[in-house]
């Protein structure tokens, strides 16, 4: 069984035009990037997909500027955060769920879970930028707090505090929405 090549090895190969190397990078990181961008796009899956493609298009266009003094994931998520920020700045308001297709789930528990996930994404997209960034990197990118702190150039304690505050804000918003729905 052979070990998977590192991101840096794949980047070097992709710079020479090796499409398989870039495809491997894409497959390895597209899920995390998409989850991170969901914090910016809310429950609109089409927007998440479009933003994810935009990130990887920018990666292709600027791959020659990546320098391995920092991990590839830090560079990649910096691009993802910039794409997410630009998306938020470019829209005048949060998209309502009217245009989002409802999930076709057979059980009430499955429907409740899907609705809760959509509500959480909608509320995450409304968080202040500093909280949304940490939430996107921690939950979406699955990055440790030390990496988040380095990426955002903030102390690690600040990253942890922002994550706690983001989760608290989401919990409060979801509880309020639940109370409103029951009333």
Give the per-residue pLDDT at 179: 75
Q: Choose among 15, 22, 47: nearest CA to 34.
A: 47
Instruction: Provide the pLDDT for residue 178.
Output: 72
- Angle formed at CA 34 by CA 56 and CA 160, multiple of 5 degrees: 115
The per-residue pLDDT for 142 is 84
Q: Contact at 8 Å (CB) between 48 and 38?
A: yes
Query: What CA–CA distance (Å, rounded) separates 167 from 165?
Result: 5
pLDDT at residue 41, as a whole number: 87
Q: What's the rounded Cα separation, in Å, for the pair 91 and 178?
A: 27
Q: What is the pLDDT along the chain (183 residues), one digit of tens a residue?
A: 568 899 999 999 999 989 999 999 999 999 999 999 998 888 888 999 999 999 999 999 999 899 888 899 999 999 999 999 999 887 644 443 333 344 444 455 555 566 667 777 888 888 899 999 999 898 888 889 999 999 999 999 999 999 999 999 888 888 887 777 666
Q: Which of 132, 56, 130 is nearest to 94 (CA)?
A: 132
Task: Domains for the chain: give ranges and CATH numbers.
Answer: 7-94+107-182 (1.10.1740.10)
CB atoms within 10 A of CB 70: 13
53 is written with which tokens? 């493609």
């Amino acid at each position: 069984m052979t070990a998977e090549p590192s991101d840096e090895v794949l980047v070097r190969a992709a710079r020479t035009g090796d499409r398989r190397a870039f495809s491997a990078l894409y497959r390895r990181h597209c899920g995390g990037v998409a989850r991170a961008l969901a914090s910016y796009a809310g429950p609109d899956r089409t927007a998440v997909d479009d933003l994810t493609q935009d990130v990887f298009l920018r990666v292709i266009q600027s791959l020659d500027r990546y320098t391995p003094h920092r991990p590839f994931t830090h560079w990649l998520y910096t691009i993802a955060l910039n794409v997410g920020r630009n998306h938020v700045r470019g829209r005048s308001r949060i998209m309502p769920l009217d245009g989002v297709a409802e999930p076709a789930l057979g059980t009430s528990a499955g429907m409740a879970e899907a609705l809760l996930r959509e509500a959480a994404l909608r509320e995450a997209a409304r968080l202040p930028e500093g909280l949304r960034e940490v939430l996107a990197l921690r939950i979406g990118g699955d990055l440790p707090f030390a990496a988040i702190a380095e990426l955002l150039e903030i102390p690690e304690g600040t990253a942890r505090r922002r994550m706690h505050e983001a989760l608290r804000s989401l919990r409060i918003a979801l509880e309020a929405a639940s109370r409103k729905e029951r009333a």
